[in-house]
């Protein structure tokens, strides 16, 4: 029998502007102008902080969605929304504890620019910044940066790894105690504690040093998603939060063991990676109420949006030849599997395993964006979360309310107290930084002296 866990569940809050459900903007309880409403995001962050969430998380895209405008006009996500780092900087001044994890692509950014943003956000928030490392999935992003199309997946992952290494190197530009700021001696910083990176690699040549002090957390917390072998290897090497979609306990347990097992070869402790797949909770005072909430949202899905959503998840394959009540044809299936998208593999496997039609799959996918939907009372949802947690299939969840702000309010009012009563989730924050609250160590600078209090970890 597996020994009960003694650690606490980790919870993040994922905020799509109006909610995670693709039709959330049509729900009368949603904030319809959420994508450009700063106060909306502040109130969400403060609500999640009052409930003691570890972090809030924002996705990003460096391009609007492509495809049929007749579908896109009914699907506002990524068509008008804030830059996540700018938004998080504003939220930093209006919160005190919650972690602020923003997405930024390594395919269409430069390491120096992003390192400055990360360091600035970590200082402004007193150590609460996180970076969701992505390689971009929207091929239209390339057209905004002087390219004719996405580089292939291997190129993007290799570039991402070097990009991340350069960011870390730049964040180590100053030792923690470099800035003496002594008026008596007229010395502002110690030159011996300033380091020039002088990186020359395959993808980047970056001299440095960074013109920002070393952040409170050393490095921001690194987050990542993806289920491919390349994604797992990159996560094992550097990720501290992993948001990969997981749909069954056996699947999650295999991923959990594999990911944490790979970490050892990089000199990392298994519990320094927190596996937190997405969870789309539909909460009701009764199970029937939760079912009705979900049924109503599903009824709002326009077929054009459902088809466009599924096409996007399958790697932007053309679904015009597939009827609403038909399974994927062999050519479409092959095109999806060859798209290089981890979402596509999960969707195809689910459709084939359960014999789902196009309509059935887009209705399922619309509610959770490839993650898992759980419906029921607070007790039922907490039961499900506890089962996964105690089975060592996850370390926590990235909670994706279907409608905002009402879905977050339901979860905070009803589910959080149930988890706390079971001793599964904190009642107070343990520390002041995101790392402290997640139980993660503060990484030492690569220039720290051997044997000192901040000795650089091996690997």
pLDDT in the model for residue 340: 67
> Given pLDDT bands bounded at 50, 70 and 90, which one contains residue 432?
very high
Name which of 42-51, 176-185, 212-221, 241-250 the model is least confident about. Answer: 241-250
**Residue 126 within any structural domain of the chain:** yes
Structural domain harbouring 64: 10-287+371-438
pLDDT in the model for residue 459: 32
pLDDT in the model for residue 384: 98
Percent of the chain with pLDDT over 70: 97
Q: Is the pLDDT of residue 284 over 90?
A: yes
3-state SS string for 389-401: HHCCCCCEEEECC
Average pLDDT rounded to a whole number, residues 367-371: 74
Domain total of the chain: 1
pLDDT in the model for residue 339: 76
- Enter the tokens of residue 99: 């972690």
> Given pLDDT bands bounded at 50, 70 and 90, which one contains residue 456?
very low
pLDDT in the model for residue 458: 35
- Burial class of residue 207, CB neighbours in 10 A (0-12, 13-18, 19+): exposed
**Residue 391 within any structural domain of the chain:** yes
Average pLDDT rounded to a whole number, residues 173-202: 97
**Residue 343 within any structural domain of the chain:** no
70 close to 99: Cβ distance less than 8 angstroms: no
Q: Is the pLDDT of residue 455 over 50?
A: no
**Residue 346 within any structural domain of the chain:** no
pLDDT in the model for residue 429: 98
**Residue 85 within any structural domain of the chain:** yes
Q: Is the pLDDT of residue 317 over 90?
A: no
**Residue 24 within any structural domain of the chain:** yes
pLDDT tens string 111-168: 999 999 999 999 999 999 999 999 987 888 999 999 988 888 889 999 999 999 999 9
Q: Is the pLDDT of residue 345 over 50?
A: yes
**Residue 430 within any structural domain of the chain:** yes
pLDDT in the model for residue 453: 38
For residues 46 and 236, what is the distance between their CA atoms, to the nearest angstrom? 32
> Given pLDDT bands bounded at 50, 70 and 90, which one contains residue 226?
confident
**Residue 49 within any structural domain of the chain:** yes
Average pLDDT rounded to a whole number, residues 304-332: 86
- Burial class of residue 56, CB neighbours in 10 A (0-12, 13-18, 19+): buried
pLDDT in the model for residue 2: 65
The enclosing domain of 123 has a CATH number of: 3.20.20.30
Percent of the chain with pLDDT over 90: 70
């Amino acid at each position: 029998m597996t020994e009960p866990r003694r650690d606490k569940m980790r919870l993040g809050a994922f905020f799509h502007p109006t909610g995670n459900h693709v039709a959330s903007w049509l729900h009368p309880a949603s904030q319809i102008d959420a994508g450009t409403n700063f106060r909306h995001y502040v109130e969400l962050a403060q609500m999640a902080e009052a409930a003691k969430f570890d972090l809030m998380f924002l996705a990003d895209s460096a391009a609007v969605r492509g495809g049929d405008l007749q579908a896109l006009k009914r699907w506002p996500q990524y068509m008008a929304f804030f830059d996540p780092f700018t938004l998080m900087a504003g939220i930093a001044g209006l919160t005190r504890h919650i972690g602020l994890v923003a997405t930024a692509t390594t395919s269409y950014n430069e390491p120096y620019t992003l390192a400055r943003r990360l360091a600035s956000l970590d200082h402004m928030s007193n150590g609460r910044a996180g970076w969701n490392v992505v390689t971009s999935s929207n091929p239209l992003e390339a057209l905004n940066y002087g390219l004719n199309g996405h580089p292939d997946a291997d190129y993007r992952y290799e570039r991402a790894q070097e990009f991340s290494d350069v960011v870390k190197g730049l964040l180590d530009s100053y030792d923690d105690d470099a800035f003496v700021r002594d008026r008596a001696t007229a010395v502002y910083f110690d030159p011996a504690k300033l380091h020039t990176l002088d990186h020359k690699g395959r993808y980047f040549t970056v001299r440095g040093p960074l013109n920002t002090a070393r952040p409170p957390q050393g490095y921001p917390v690194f987050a990542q998603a993806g289920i491919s072998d390349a994604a797992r290897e990159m996560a094992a090497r550097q990720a501290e939060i992993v948001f990969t979609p997981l749909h069954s306990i056996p699947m999650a347990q295999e991923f959990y063991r594999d990911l944490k097992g790979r970490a050892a070869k990089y000199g990392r402790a298994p519990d320094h990676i927190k596996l937190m797949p997405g969870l789309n909770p539909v909460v009701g005072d009764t199970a029937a109420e939760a079912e009705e909430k979900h049924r109503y949202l599903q009824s709002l899905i326009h077929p054009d949006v459902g088809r466009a959503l599924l096409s996007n998840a399958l790697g932007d394959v053309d679904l015009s030849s597939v009827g609403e009540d038909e399974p994927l044809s062999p050519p479409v299936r092959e095109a999806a599997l060859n798209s290089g998208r981890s979402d596509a593999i999960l969707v195809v496997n689910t459709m084939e395993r359960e014999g789902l039609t196009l309509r059935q799959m887009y209705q399922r996918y619309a509610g959770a964006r490839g993650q898992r939907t759980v419906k029921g009372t607070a007790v039922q949802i907490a039961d499900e979360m506890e089962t996964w947690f105690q089975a060592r299939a996850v370390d926590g969840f990235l909670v994706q309310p279907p409608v905002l702000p009402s879905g977050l309010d339901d979860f905070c009012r009803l589910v959080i107290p149930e988890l706390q009563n079971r001793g599964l989730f904190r009642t107070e924050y343990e520390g002041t930084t995101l790392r402290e609250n997640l139980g993660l160590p503060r990484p030492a600078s690569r220039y720290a002296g051997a044997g000192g209090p901040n000795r650089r970890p091996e690997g």
